[in-house]
Amino acid sequence: MPRVHRAVARALPRHGGLRATATDRSTPAASGLPATATPARAGGSLGREASGFATVGAFALLVDIGGYNALVHLGGNGWLGEEPLLAKTTAVAASTTVAYFGNRFWTYRDRPRGRLGREYVLFVVLSAVGLAIALACLAFSRYVLGLTSAVADNVATNGIGLALGSLFRFLTYRRYVFPHRPPA
């Protein structure tokens, strides 16, 4: 057997005594899951990741909401009271850094580590998309509906925008930022 074929054959997992094909997703290794993963373990891993993500997200949310409200509403008219979109961007930048380190070193601690710079940049880019989702909700509330109260701002950005942005972030972080295997 030529050298290349032997290397490929060794890299493919065994399945029922036969070598799995490259498109076979029935084994954990072929599906991108760790070799020890079974369907039950994969579900447990997803649950652990989701709860870790939620816990880290709750802490980052405190930084986000607290920062936003301090910047816009503290003392009746905060430092950025007339610039709610800039205030939200600033609050999200701080909470994104908190969330990255919490997710990297706690939620996804068992996953292989990529290069810190690559992970962080990708995390920030995907977080920016999540921010755009929250900003779109805030802008719609403020500039289309004309709602400017603290309650309206918080429902739009920290309720609706946060829920939509969090779903997007969870799905993309686990697939692209903290994959089961480091990028080639």
pLDDT category of residue 121 using cuts at 50, 70 and 90: very high
Q: ∠ CA(89), CA(91), CA(93), 5° rounding?
A: 70
> Is 182 within a domain?
no
Residues 17 and 49 in one domain: no
pLDDT category, 11, cuts 50, 70, 90?
very low
Here the tokens at position 92 are: 């999200």
DSSP symbol at 14: E
Q: Which residue range forms the structural domain that includes residue 25?
A: 1-31
In a domain, 170, yes or no: yes
Nearest alpha carbon to residue 104 among 89, 115, 93? 115
Let me know if residue 184 belongs to a domain: no
Q: Does residue 140 share a domain with residue 115?
A: yes
Cβ burial of 89 (10 Å; 0-12, 13-18, 19+) is middle
pLDDT confidence tier of residue 183, bands split at 50, 70 and 90: low
Residue 127 in any domain: the answer is yes
Same domain assignment for residues 124 and 152 = yes
Higher pLDDT, 184 or 73: 73
Number of domains composing the chain: 2
71 and 10 co-located in one domain: no
In terms of phi and psi (left: phi > 0; alpha: psi -120 to 50; beta: otherwise), the region of 84 is: alpha
Q: Which residue has the higher pLDDT, 162 or 145?
A: 145
Q: What percent of the chain has pLDDT over 70?
A: 74
80 and 151 in a single domain? The answer is: yes
Tokens of 37: 């993963």
Task: Determine the Cα–Cα distance for residues 184 and 181; give it in Å rounded to an integer.
Answer: 9
pTM over cut 0.85: no
Provide the terminal-to-terminal Cα distance of the chain, rounded to the nearest Å.
26
130 and 173, same structural domain?
A: yes
**Same structural domain for residues 4 and 88?**
no
Q: Residues 8, 52: one domain?
A: no
31-82 residue pLDDT tens = 444 444 444 455 567 888 889 999 999 999 899 889 999 999 998 888 898 9
> Are 73 and 82 a contacting pair, CB within 8 Å?
no
Average pLDDT over residues 15-42: 43
Q: Are residues 69 and 25 in the same domain?
A: no
Residues 91, 153 within the same domain: yes
Q: What is the pLDDT of residue 49?
A: 87
Residues 131-159 have a mean pLDDT of 93
Asked if 140 and 50 sit in the same domain, the reply is: yes
3 pLDDT above the threshold of 60: no
Contact between 63 and 114 (Cβ < 8 Å): no
Q: Pick from 127, 138, 39, 37: which is nearest to 85 by CA? A: 138
